[in-house]
Amino acid sequence: MAILVTGASGYIGSFACVRLLGEGFGVVGIDNFSNSGAEVVERINELAPKKLRFYEADLRDAAALDKIFKAERIDCVMHFAGLKAVGVSVSKPLEYYGNNINAAISLCECMDRHDTGAIVFSSSATVYDGANEMPLTEDSKTGGCTNPYGWTKFMCEQIIADIARAKGWTASIFRYFNVIGAHESGRIGDDPSGTPNNLMPYITQVAVGRLECLPLNGTDYPTPDGTCIRDYIHISDLIDGHIAAVKNANKNAGVNFYNLGTGRGTSNLELIETFEQINGVRVPYRATKRRPGDLAVTYADASKARRELGWSPKKSVEDMCADAWRWQKNNPEGYGRNAEKP
Ligand code: UD1
């Protein structure tokens, strides 16, 4: 069985490739290197017991996709590729809609041409409406996204669910909560270009001395310590969920939505303090104003994935902090790009 991983050299796709190859799957990777480079593919091959069959191509290029689907027998697609910088999506909406939506359509069209009937899609908790009560279940209201990035996830979910229902495909749509951590080897991890938008890569870059001080966005939220609360999940547990979906594909035919989180909330301050304690490093921060669009508290009810996929997250917030730090400490400049690259 061969699995096509899109976004194979990205943060989550690269981890998926290593784990899938370790599980004995045939893995075909595709990436256009818009936000990564060939070094990641080399590191995947260094960590995995089998070689990744890798293609540099853009998902919107139908001819290139056809070539890959002809050369490889693809039984299942894991679709991770996509632009994901929330702030940029606000200033460049057409780039985000054009890339993320057209890539999903092109990929599904190609799957249809080549009779590939299974897809796992990397969606986000950002598709849930901000007015929902916590914890979020898969039945919580969706829509009302606060930025174009969120809308592309919302729209891609719809596109994939519709084509899967029409063609009788199996589609597992995972709504990720806050994915952090890195491979325990410290060889692959999150390497955002430019200044990080997300909390954990910002923390690790401050700790390693690449950035001076962490701006802590808002300390006046109605939470016990005044900072936002999020549901952090280790990338290793996240990918376990994907593998459980592939292994259970027969039992879980049709279109299924699953939250992937731990169900536990951690405040921004708690995350900073845990990182400092477990790793013995300092992360200077200063309180700044709230970031527009942020909710005070989000966490998952992930019981559906536990129940239906037999999945359960195993890693603690301490594990997440230790692994994220090992990656950054061993790779202060990530995979080697200039930290200021826009
Ligand atoms: C964000 C996106 C979400 C996306 C997810 C993963 C928004 C509103 N949401 O989730 O759509 O799916 O990333 O890419 O952008 N923080 C700081 N200082 C920083 C960075 C973050 O205090 O330098 C705070 C944030 O304000 C927030 C918390 O840390 O309170 C978590 O932020 P982040 O890591 O960006 O995740 P989300 O906002 O939950």
Query: pLDDT tens, 180-225?
Result: 999 999 999 999 989 999 999 999 999 999 999 999 999 999 999 9
Model confidence pLDDT, tens digit, residues 20-63:
999 999 999 999 999 999 999 999 999 999 999 999 999 999 99
Which residues share a beta bridge with 175?
123, 259
- Percentage of the residues of the chain whose pLDDT score is greater than 70: 98
What is the overall mean pLDDT for the chain? 96
The rounded distance, in Å, linking the Cα atoms of 127 and 130 is 9
Predicted pLDDT of residue 337: 56
The rounded distance, in Å, linking the Cα atoms of 19 and 183 is 10
- Its domain, for residue 48, covers 2-330
Is 342 among the domain residues?
Answer: no
Mean pLDDT value across residues 139-143: 98
The rounded distance, in Å, linking the Cα atoms of 219 and 201 is 20
Predicted pLDDT of residue 251: 78
Number of domains present in the structure of the chain: 1
Query: Which atom in ligand 1 lies closest to the alpha carbon of residue 217?
Result: 22
- Percentage of the residues of the chain whose pLDDT score is greater than 90: 96
Note if the pTM is more than 0.75: yes
Instruction: Please tell me the distance between residue 228's alpha carbon and the centre of ligand 1 in angstroms.
Output: 9
Query: Which secondary structure element, helix H or strand E, spans residue 230, and what is its range?
Result: strand 229-230
Query: Which atom in ligand 1 lies closest to the alpha carbon of residue 271?
Result: 29
Residue 52, burial from CB neighbour count under 10 angstroms (0-12, 13-18, 19+):
buried
Q: Of 1-5, 64-68, 231-235, 269-273, give the lowest mean pLDDT range.
A: 1-5
CB 11 near ligand 1, within 6 Å: no
Is 48 among the domain residues?
Answer: yes
Instruction: Please tell me the distance between residue 18's alpha carbon and the centre of ligand 1 in angstroms.
Output: 26
CB 234 near ligand 1, within 6 Å: no
Is 338 among the domain residues?
Answer: no
Query: How many Cα atoms occupy the beta-carbon half-sphere of 282 within 13 Å?
Result: 5
Is 208 among the domain residues?
Answer: yes
Give, for ligand 1, the residue of 11, 88, 126, 274 to mutate: max count of ligand atoms closer than 8 Å to Cβ. Answer: 126
Phi and psi torsions of 338, nearest 5°: -65, 130
Residue 81, burial from CB neighbour count under 10 angstroms (0-12, 13-18, 19+):
buried
CB 216 near ligand 1, within 6 Å: yes
For ligand 1, atom 35, the nearest C-alpha belongs to 198
Is 195 among the domain residues?
Answer: yes
Which CATH number do you get for residue 35? 3.40.50.720
- Please indicate whether residue 128 is annotated as part of the active site: no
Is 200 among the domain residues?
Answer: yes
Please state at what angle helix 317-330 crosses helix 268-279, rounded to 10 degrees: 60
Is 336 among the domain residues?
Answer: no
